Amino acid sequence: MDMLISVLVILAKITCIFGGVITLAALTTLAERKVSAWIQFRHGPNRVGPWGILQPLADGVKFIYKEELVPDGANQVMFYLAPAMVAMPAMMGIAVLPFAAVSPLYQDTGPLAIANLDLSVLFILAFSGLSIYGVILGGWASNSKFSLLGALRASAQMISYELALLLSVAAILLMAGSANLVDIANDQQGSIFNWYIWKQPLAFLLFLIATFAETNRHPFDFAECEPELVAGFHTEYSSMRFALFFLGEYCAIIVMCAMTCTFFLGGFHVPFWADAPWFVQAGMFLAKICFFLFLFIWVRWTLPRFRFDQLMGLGWKTFLPLALLNLFVTGALVAAGVY
Partner 1 sequence: MAIVKRKELSIGEKLYLPAIFRGLSMTFRQMFKKRVTRQYPEEPLPVNEVTRGQPRLAVNDDGTIRCVSCGLCEAACPAYAITIDGQETDRFIEREPERFDIDMLRCILCGFCEEACPKDAILMSDELELADFSREALIYDVERLKRPVSQLRPRLDYVYKVNERW
Based on CB atoms, which residue is closest to partner 1, 8 or 39? Answer: 39
Residue 219: asked if its preceding bond is cis (omega within 30°), the reply is: yes
Shortest spacing between CB 221 and partner 1, in angstroms: 16
Shortest spacing between CB 65 and partner 1, in angstroms: 21
- Residues near partner 1 (CB under 8 A) are 35, 38-43, 298-299, 301-303
Shortest spacing between CB 337 and partner 1, in angstroms: 32
Shortest spacing between CB 171 and partner 1, in angstroms: 20
Look at residues 70, 77, 233 and name the one whose alpha carbon lies nearest to residue 149.
Answer: 233
What would the DSSP string read from start to end of 261-316? HHHHS-TTPBTTBTT--HHHHHHHHHHHHHHHHHHHHHHHTTSPPPPHHHHHHIII
Based on CB atoms, which residue is closest to partner 1, 45 or 248? Answer: 45
Residue 46 in contact with residue 118, Cβ under 8 Å?
no
Based on CB atoms, which residue is closest to partner 1, 141 or 213? Answer: 213
Q: Under 8 Å CB-to-CB from 158, ≥6 apart: which residues?
A: 129, 132, 213, 214
Based on CB atoms, which residue is closest to partner 1, 198 or 298? Answer: 298
Based on CB atoms, which residue is closest to partner 1, 41 or 65? Answer: 41
Amino acid in position 306: F
Backbone φ, ψ for residue 294 (5° rounding): -60, -40
User: DSSP label at 83?
Assistant: H
Shortest spacing between CB 16 and partner 1, in angstroms: 32
Angstrom distance (rounded) from CA 203 to CA 324: 10
Based on CB atoms, which residue is closest to partner 1, 20 or 219? Answer: 219
Shortest spacing between CB 31 and partner 1, in angstroms: 12
